[in-house]
Structure 1
Amino acid sequence: MNKVDWKAKLSSRKFWALVAALATSILGAVGASDDTAVKITGIIAAVGACAVYMLAEAITDANNSDKE
């Protein structure tokens, strides 16, 4: 069985879109208000953007340190 490459998963915009869509669907199923769903989806999108940025910067820094 193959191991999951979490670094690649967390840096994927598709993954974060899936998480936001899943959260929105679950909130709709449990009867949360539209306002709550929008707020939670926004938080997920913000966390995803931060994760992608941090991983991209870490990869860039690692590549730059290899050249020195």
Structure 2
Amino acid sequence: MKNINWVKKLTSRKLWVAVGSFVSMMIVATGGAESTGTQVAALIMAGASALAYIIGEGLVDASSTDLVIETELEESEEQE
């Protein structure tokens, strides 16, 4: 079975645009006001943007930590 890269999927703008569009259209289709659908879609996109930023920064921090650890290991091996 294939491993799913959930981080990549959850930070996809296309996914969040599709989710926002679906939810807003469902609100309108079930009798809600268009302005309500627009507001909900805007909230979903704002939340998705914040989520993508947080995950992205976490990945950058994690990769820079790995580089620091590898560099320190290489330097300690060279000194020996």
- Paired residue secondary structure (2:19): helix
Task: Provide the residue aligned with 1:37 in structure 2.
Answer: 37
Distance 2:6 2:32 in 1: 30
Distance 1:31 1:5 in 2: 37
1:24 is displaced (CA, Å) by 1.4
| Alignment length (residue pairs) | 68
Matched, 1:25 2:25: yes
Relative contact order, CA 8 A, sep 6+: which one is greater?
Answer: 1
1:3 is displaced (CA, Å) by 4.6
CA displacement 1:4-50 (0-9 Å, x = unmatched): 43211111111100111111111111011011111101110111001
Matched, 1:16 2:11: no
State the TM-score, normalized to the length of structure 2: 0.77
1:51 is displaced (CA, Å) by 0.9
Q: What are the ranges of 5 or more consecutive residues in structure 2 without an aligned counterpart?
A: 69-80
Q: What are the ranges of 5 or more consecutive residues in structure 1 without an aligned counterpart?
A: none
State the TM-score, normalized to the length of structure 1: 0.89
Distance 1:14 1:36 in 2: 22
Matched, 1:57 2:50: no
